Amino acid sequence: MFVLLFLGWHVWFNDVVLGAAQDKASATLSQQWQIATRGQTEFDRAIGSSDGVFVTSVPPVLPRVNDAEAFANLIIPRFGDRYVRTIAETVDIASVLNNTATSVGHYPSSNLLGELGNFAIAGHRTTYGAAFGWVDNLRVGDRIYIEAEEGWYIYRFRNLEFVYPSEVAVLNPVPQTTIAAQERILTITTCHPKLSAAERFIAYSVFESFVPRENGTPTEVSAVVGRD
């Protein structure tokens, strides 16, 4: 009994400590992007729009970055008003998923952020900050935000799926099929059940819109973006 209580405390404490460190790292990254945007000229910000303000359904495609390099923040309001995690390239356990500065990894075999197809990411459901510890709380229509230097990629949650670890077709441009992609999908993968890797918990979302950084922070996530 004591051992079980200790293990439960250890998992909880590990998540709290590393989750706080990951929150801080995400905030630092966001602040860097905000400073860079404030340094732009009015002419720079107006390129691509007659008034410099627009929301578009055709987002910029982020170039591929180096392995373990952070390039975006993931914000899911359903997970709490302070939830934010940093996305890095690759799903390597040591350098990304267990890292105090990241915790979410992009599958290199999946599409790039902003590209037609499937932007697929992975994170722990328990321990090391539990990036996706609340994935089962998602509800149809929930917004999911990915903040990059260019702005915010906004998705709407659609459905959940359970698969075995060997079912890698969830990473295809159109998950579980071989047809050509006609839309932009966000796929979240994590372990199921908690404290086990027997299955994978998959959450699918569909791209809704892109908000350039110069437009200002979307209201729903303004409290979490770039905070100290």
Query: pLDDT for 123-166, tens place per residue?
Result: 999 999 899 999 999 999 999 999 999 999 999 999 999 999 99
Adjacent-strand bridge partners of 70 = 88
Adjacent-strand bridge partners of 25 = none
Residue 205 CA to residue 51 CA, distance in Å, equals: 31
Query: pLDDT for 193-223, tens place per residue?
Result: 998 999 999 999 999 999 999 888 999 998 8
- Please compute Rg for the chain using Cα positions: 18
Q: What pLDDT does residue 22 have?
A: 59
Residue 176 CA to residue 170 CA, distance in Å, equals: 5
Predicted TM-score of the model (pTM): 0.84
pLDDT tier, 33 (very low <50, low <70, confident <90, very high otherwise): confident
Residues contacting 133, CB < 8 A, separation 6+: 15, 124, 125, 126, 194
Q: Averaged over 173-181, what is the pLDDT? A: 98
Q: What pLDDT does residue 18 have?
A: 54
Report residue 148: phi and psi, to 5°: -125, 180
Give residue limits of the domains in the chain.
2-221
For residue 189, give both structure tokens. Answer: 């993968």
Q: Averaged over 2-28, what is the pLDDT? A: 55
What would the CATH number be for the domain defined by 2-221? 2.40.260.10
